[in-house]
Amino acid sequence: MDVSLSLLIHIALLSSLCFAEDAYVFYDFKLSYITVSPLGVPQQVIAVNGAFPGQVLNATTNDNVAINVHNQLDENLLMSWPGIQMRRNSWQDGVLGTNCPVQPKKNFTYQFQVKDQIGSFFYFPSLNFQRASGGFGPIIINNRNVIRIPFAPPDGDIVILICDWYTQNHTALRTTLDSGGELGMPDGVLINGKGPYRYNTTLVPDGIPYESINVDPGKTYRFRVHNVGISTSLNFRIQGHNLLLVETEGHYTIQQNFSSFDIHMGQSYSFLVTMDQNATTDYYIVASARYVNESVWERVTGVAILHYSNSGGPATGPLPVPPSDIYNQWSAMSQPKSIRQNTSASGARPNPQGSFHYGSINVTDTYVLQSLPPLMIDGKLRSTLNGISFVNPDTPFRLADLHNVKGSYKLDFPNKPLGRTPHMDRSLINATYKGFIEVILQNNDTRMQSFHMDGYAFFVVGMDFGQWTENSRNNYNKWDAISRCTTEVYPGGWTAILVSLDNVGVWNLRVENLDRWYLGQETYMKIMNPEENGDTEMAPPENVIYCGSLQSLQK
Ligand SMILES: *[C@@H]1O[C@H](CO)[C@@H](O)[C@H](O)[C@H]1NC(C)=O
Ligand SMILES: *[C@@H]1O[C@H](CO)[C@@H](O)[C@H](O)[C@H]1NC(C)=O
Ligand SMILES: *[C@@H]1O[C@H](CO)[C@@H](O)[C@H](O)[C@H]1NC(C)=O
Ligand SMILES: *[C@@H]1O[C@H](CO)[C@@H](O)[C@H](O)[C@H]1NC(C)=O
Ligand SMILES: *[C@@H]1O[C@H](CO)[C@@H](O)[C@H](O)[C@H]1NC(C)=O
Ligand SMILES: *[C@@H]1O[C@H](CO)[C@@H](O)[C@H](O)[C@H]1NC(C)=O
Ligand SMILES: *[C@@H]1O[C@H](CO)[C@@H](O)[C@H](O)[C@H]1NC(C)=O
Ligand SMILES: *[C@@H]1O[C@H](CO)[C@@H](O)[C@H](O)[C@H]1NC(C)=O
Ligand SMILES: *[C@@H]1O[C@H](CO)[C@@H](O)[C@H](O)[C@H]1NC(C)=O
Ligand SMILES: *[C@@H]1O[C@H](CO)[C@@H](O)[C@H](O)[C@H]1NC(C)=O
Ligand SMILES: *[C@@H]1O[C@H](CO)[C@@H](O)[C@H](O)[C@H]1NC(C)=O
């Protein structure tokens, strides 16, 4: 694509922002503790309107969404909506770099538009390790009626939230991390907030409520599966049934069948599943720990039931087996590499997804972001990106800018690992508006990671083991790479993403592994339009909360 065409596309994208009269959807979310026993041990979990997991946040492309969040916990709260791009509006993003926390007994109404978006995402509380106690729920953004989805309308929509789970709550887990400890193996895996079906009387105690999904024979359902957990990659499978992959995080994929699928922390996928079996019994739905020694991690397995209306009886026998390739990671990586976008399908807009020819745009800047295993800094266990362990601000960055609070952050995040002594800092990426950047996520940690970027979707153009070099670019997918917002990065390997920086604001870039994130593995990209031409960021909302050096402005 030449420059003028690329400019035209930008202009087309921007002018479409000015359509008015889009519909509104309203939600009231009350976040509170409730006591449940998903693994047989009573514990306090975070519920949304009394439910664990929380209800669906359901909207259609271009809707304006307003969610009044009430904090009925005993700690500060921020809700985040990862994957929702919040154009020019990082004020609603729900992370400490952009928002002051909502104090206990207070509320805050988030307002944003789901402009030009479709697909499957989830929300969660971003502070204080709270996601380990719940507070999460699914987000569905439906296509507008005028835009055909690239498959026959399914007979039903089924949401599945899978996660590793500890019987200790988030405050106890936090204490472990604060004192330099490791979380260790989780106590189990939950499916929609429930513990495992008793598939084995030795492994699973009696009396645990399990999830049961009711279906009719012959029908095809859209399963939206999200890994909302802390740090365990999960292999998802349904006994006797194929998973036809159709969508991930807002883009339609090339449709392919899988017998099982790896879902990493923070990732979301849609599969079509046809009820084409004879229902002599119910079927197991399994989410089991991946890339660990599975015989040691046997208890870290979630099991739910797929129940046909004409079922002949309960599921029996062993669980369907996971792939046997964990000690051959080269072959395991072929699955994520095969996820590509359907370039001819329409996404949120009528033009085909492939009409943005990302492969012919010149890269303006390259950032190599290296993560290392946690290490001691100033006597504390911390994790780092390019040797910097991020320190959260007392005053959100853009509020600080607008009120001339000086020195609250630096714009000097290095664009490659410098080999300097690891240190704690409030260092942001000074990214260029309208730039087209390449980010190499180099995982020099020993664990599978996933990385997420707020405010954007990016193209996952390459992934491999070993050290990334400039020659690695020769193997990038320049044609139909998937566009998404959360990508896995294999231990000892790298993932390359390309991002078009067309959304002004300050946007969080973080590891999704909750323990590593808590210990500082994140930064922000500051992206500002230097010209006052209407494409600058929105003003802070009327209900903006003040804190830190600006506390006195709070009414
Ligand atoms: C991209 O870079 C190449 C080589 O530097 C140059 O020839 C080409 O004109 C550039 N393309 C665009 C769209 O800027
Ligand atoms: C979390 O667990 C700790 C230790 O078991 C307990 O003291 C605390 O009350 C719990 N907090 C919540 C919010 O459940
Ligand atoms: C979401 O909203 C759409 C359109 O209003 C409706 O058809 C659909 O049933 C809703 N889905 C859920 C899960 O509430
Ligand atoms: C808190 O909720 C009330 C309604 O219950 C609403 O009028 C008010 O705007 C909300 N506060 C914030 C800061 O959004
Ligand atoms: C239950 O699990 C235990 C431990 O893995 C195993 O030894 C036993 O064979 C299993 N029982 C059945 C009935 O599969
Ligand atoms: C996927 O598997 C189903 C059977 O479960 C089959 O009907 C369908 O044709 C397959 N689709 C593709 C694209 O392979
Ligand atoms: C149902 O399917 C199972 C698995 O494919 C097969 O073993 C069984 O014989 C079938 N039963 C009937 C009644 O067709
Ligand atoms: C998994 O752990 C078991 C028990 O510690 C050990 O015997 C086995 O060798 C391990 N498997 C692999 C492949 O490392
Ligand atoms: C791609 O999307 C088109 C709809 O635009 C659909 O007809 C086609 O089957 C899809 N192809 C694949 C391989 O998923
Ligand atoms: C950030 O980058 C812009 C150019 O994109 C430059 O003008 C500015 O001086 C940089 N700011 C800092 C603090 O380096
Ligand atoms: C980390 O990097 C070093 C030096 O590049 C390399 O020798 C080592 O194998 C890497 N370890 C992992 C787990 O990637």
Which tens digit of pLDDT belongs to each residue from 13-23? 333 343 457 89
Q: Which residues contact 355 (CB under 8 A, 6 or more apart)?
A: none
Give me the helices (H) in 286-402, please: 329-332, 334-337, 397-402
Interval between CA 216 and ligand 7 midpoint (Å): 17
Residue 451 and residue 441 in contact, taking contact as beta carbons nearer than 8 Å: yes
Q: How many CB atoms lie within 10 A of CB 104?
A: 12
Please count the helices (runs of H) and the strands (runs of E) in the chain.
6, 33
Residue 257 has pLDDT above 50, yes or no: yes
Interval between CA 2 and ligand 1 midpoint (Å): 8
pLDDT class of 419 with cuts at 50, 70, 90: confident
Per DSSP, the residues of 227-260 read E-SSS--EEEEETT--EEEEEETTEEEEEEEESS
- For a substitution probing ligand 10, which of 412, 413, 430, 528 has the most ligand atoms within 8 Å of its CB? 430
Q: Which residues contact 7 (CB under 8 A, 6 or more apart)?
A: none
**Which atom of ligand 10 lies nearest, measured to the CA of 411?**
13
Protein residue whose Cα sits closest to atom 11 of ligand 5: 200
What are the pLDDT digits (tens) for 46-82? 999 999 999 999 999 999 999 999 999 999 999 999 9
Residue 299 has pLDDT above 50, yes or no: yes
- For a substitution probing ligand 2, which of 35, 41, 44 has the most ligand atoms within 8 Å of its CB? 44
Based on the number of CB atoms within 10 Å of its own CB, is 427 exposed (0-12), middle (13-18) or buried (19 or more)? buried
Protein residue whose Cα sits closest to atom 8 of ligand 1: 362
Ligand nearest to the CA of 222: 3
- For a substitution probing ligand 3, which of 56, 57, 58, 122 has the most ligand atoms within 8 Å of its CB? 58
Token pair of 7 as six digits? 């400019």
| Residue, of 10 and 156, whose pLDDT is higher | 156
Q: Which of 74, 87, 77, 61 is closest to 135 using CA atoms?
A: 77
Share of the chain above pLDDT 70, in %: 96
**Which atom of ligand 2 lies nearest, measured to the CA of 74?**
13
Interval between CA 297 and ligand 5 midpoint (Å): 14
What are the pLDDT digits (tens) for 118-166? 999 999 999 999 999 999 999 999 999 999 999 999 999 999 999 999 9
Interval between CA 157 and ligand 6 midpoint (Å): 19
Q: What is the mean pLDDT of the chain?
A: 94
288 backbone φψ class: left, alpha, beta (φ>0; ψ -120 to 50) = beta
Ligand nearest to the CA of 319: 5
In b/e form, how buried is each residue of 257-293, taking b as 16+ CB within 10 angstroms? ebebbbbbbbbbbbbbbbbebebebbbbbbbbbbbbe
Can you list the domains of the chain with their CATH numbers? Answer: 3-142 (2.60.40.420), 156-337 (2.60.40.420), 356-537 (2.60.40.420)
